[in-house]
Amino acid sequence: MEQLFINILLTTLLLVSFGLLSSLFNAMILSPKRLRSKLEKQGVTGPPHSLLLGNLWEMMSTKFKSSKTPKQQQQVTSHNCAAIVFPYLVKWRNQYGPTFVFSLGNLQILHMNQPNALKELSTSTSLLFGRPSHHHHDAILGQGIIASSGHVWAHQRKILAPEFFMDKVKGMMKLMEESAFLVASALNEEIEKGGGVAELKIDDYTRSFAGDVILRACFGSNYAQGKQIFLKLRDLQAILAQVLLLQWIPGIRYLPTKSNMGMWRLEKEIQALILKVVKERKQAKSHPDKDLLQIIIESAERSDLGQDTNSFVVDNCKNIYFAGYETTAVSAAWTLMLLALYPEWQHKVRAEILQTCRGPLPDADMLRNMKTLTMVINESLRLYSPAVIVPREALGDMKFGGINIPKGVGVWITLVTLHQDPDLWGPDADKFIPERFANGISGACKVPYAYMPFGAGPHTCLGQHFAMMELKIFLTHMLSNFTFTLSPKYRHSPFMNLVVEPEFGIDLFVTRL
């Protein structure tokens, strides 16, 4: 009897082990091979890949070789950000055209930057073409920070867009102007210390501005707690940036490595801090601040999210950090770098600001009429778009861009290559030429859909109007009070830190007008 029991147990263990191995073999080898085969039969090719690693080794080696290229010190002759940030994508595009397939571990990615796909992306509302199901592990896109389930995302767009980002932008102008004034005061202090000129890393000050705006807009009276959350999110971002490609090695994200344990710890701490603020507000019953956090809490309570309520609140706070703070700070820094590098455009923008603003503070109509400033911001966002990829996934078998895409294949529209594609923007695609936007976005490119710094279609960034207003107010304050020139210390090195930011900071000389 005992022997029979042992035999049954061993047989069960063998069957379970065989089932697990079969599932693993299918997920890691057979399924990716089938998906790639379906694409290759339609003429979609790509770089040779290996089992398990896919194209990760080539991506890492290409990036390593690119990083060994001497950094430009004083002269910035090209703004080919794509060649620095994603050299492997540029290489593959030159080899296989704008549409090709490559592998991140066992995940198949279809790279599509051709015009018909861009147009379709901008108008598609298909439920089969949505946010990737692997987003909560998508470290290369920063989704370790801004993870959201599809259910939560749907509620986010339905609830937040009309209630805050569209109706509240004008009401936030005073807050933005106060934050810009604080930065101007800090710059004046540094100029006084420097005897009339200050040599500064200007990105420290753009972060100060963007952080102050979004913390006040989001957390209100819980400003200090919000700042603590943002600092931990910054730490999480730094760890993710170090292991971008390694995270795609199958199974590695589940191992107790130093980086994984650091991320797990920070994620728990961030969630605990956010939920602590939420609990305090709920216990208070009434809250005087009608800030974004309060709107998120009340919206979650009115929704049918059920057990997803906490996830909705936590994920949106993470989204606010990444989309509302990080991207705006970096965009402002890149724009000031470009204006320092091209003083003729700095003079043009300043002249427009001084002519348009008849009082100490610009109003919304004045900002809207600043055509030159808008052109400069648009060109800066084209060359140094903080967002790098618009990711989608075929959630079912579907047709997109003239290609039958099987379920489970990821689709990438890469903004850093798209925004500098000579076929779309002309031979001067890597040059800073704000005039290309003189007739608006529709006249800047052969295909207007090719410009999407805020994404495209139903997943367009909810805060794009907020971000543009923020950038205009900040630059208006800076350029009406100071002049900026590039420091010899500046090392031009766009760096993928989940957003494209300056690796060594942006060193500028700042003087008072």
What is the residue-wise DSSP string for 130-196?
ES-TTGGG-GGGTTTTS---HHHHHHHHHHHIIIIITTSTGGGHHHHHHHHHHHHHHHHHHHHHTTS
Alpha helices (H) in 220-326, listed in sequence order: 223-242, 258-284, 292-302, 309-319
Note whether residue 142 is domain-resident: yes
Whole-number Å distance between alpha carbons of 139 and 260: 11
Note whether residue 238 is domain-resident: yes
- What separation, in Å, do the N-terminal and C-terminal C-alpha atoms of the chain show? 95
Angle, vertex CA 136, rays to CA 135 and CA 141, nearest 5: 55
Residue 102's Cβ-count burial label (10 Å; 0-12, 13-18, 19+) is buried
pLDDT band at 162 (very low <50, low <70, confident <90, very high): very low
pTM exceeds 0.85, yes or no: yes
| Contact residues for 124 (Cβ-Cβ < 8 A; gap 6+) | 400, 457, 458
Whole-number Å distance between alpha carbons of 267 and 156: 21
Least confident of 49-53, 442-446, 456-460, 461-465: 456-460
Whole-number Å distance between alpha carbons of 430 and 419: 9
Helix axes 258-284, 223-242, angle to 10 degrees: 160
Both tokens assigned to 132: 């990737």
- Show the domain range for 427: 42-512
CB atoms within 10 A of CB 381: 25
Note whether residue 33 is domain-resident: no
Average pLDDT over residues 172-181: 89
Average pLDDT over residues 356-368: 77
461 annotated to bind ligand = yes
CB 322 within 8 A of CB 142: yes
Q: What is the CATH number of the domain that holds 223?
A: 1.10.630.10
Q: Is the pLDDT of residue 464 over 80?
A: no
Average pLDDT over residues 440-469: 78
Note whether residue 31 is domain-resident: no
CB 54 within 8 A of CB 248: yes
- Give 99-141 pLDDT, tens digit per residue: 999 999 888 999 988 777 777 777 776 767 766 665 544 433 3
Query: How many CA within 13 A on the CB side of residue 16?
Result: 6
**Total domain count for the chain?**
1
Q: Is the pLDDT of residue 475 over 80?
A: yes
- The long-range contacts involving 487-493, CB below 8 angstroms and separated by at least 24 positions, are 487/199, 488/73, 488/74, 489/199, 490/73, 490/74, 490/337, 491/71, 491/72, 491/73, 492/71, 492/72, 492/73, 492/76, 493/71, 493/84
3-state secondary structure of 330: helix
Note whether residue 260 is domain-resident: yes
pLDDT band at 185 (very low <50, low <70, confident <90, very high): very high
Note whether residue 392 is domain-resident: yes
Whole-number Å distance between alpha carbons of 461 and 390: 11
Note whether residue 125 is domain-resident: yes
The 482-486 sheet, strands edge to edge: 197-201, 507-512, 482-486
Give the number of residues written for the chain.
Answer: 513
CB 223 within 8 A of CB 277: no
Whole-number Å distance between alpha carbons of 417 and 389: 9
- Residue 331's closest CA among 475, 225, 435? 475
Whole-number Å distance between alpha carbons of 254 and 240: 14
pLDDT band at 173 (very low <50, low <70, confident <90, very high): confident
CB 489 within 8 A of CB 499: no
pLDDT band at 18 (very low <50, low <70, confident <90, very high): low
Compute the mean pLDDT over every residue in the chain, rounded to the nearest whole number. 82
Average pLDDT over residues 337-359: 92
Phi/psi at 396 (5° precision): -165, 165
Whole-number Å distance between alpha carbons of 462 and 482: 32
Q: Which residues pair with 405 in a beta bridge?
A: 398
pLDDT band at 169 (very low <50, low <70, confident <90, very high): low
Q: Is the pLDDT of residue 32 over 70?
A: yes
- Residue 420's closest CA among 396, 395, 453? 453
Note whether residue 459 is domain-resident: yes
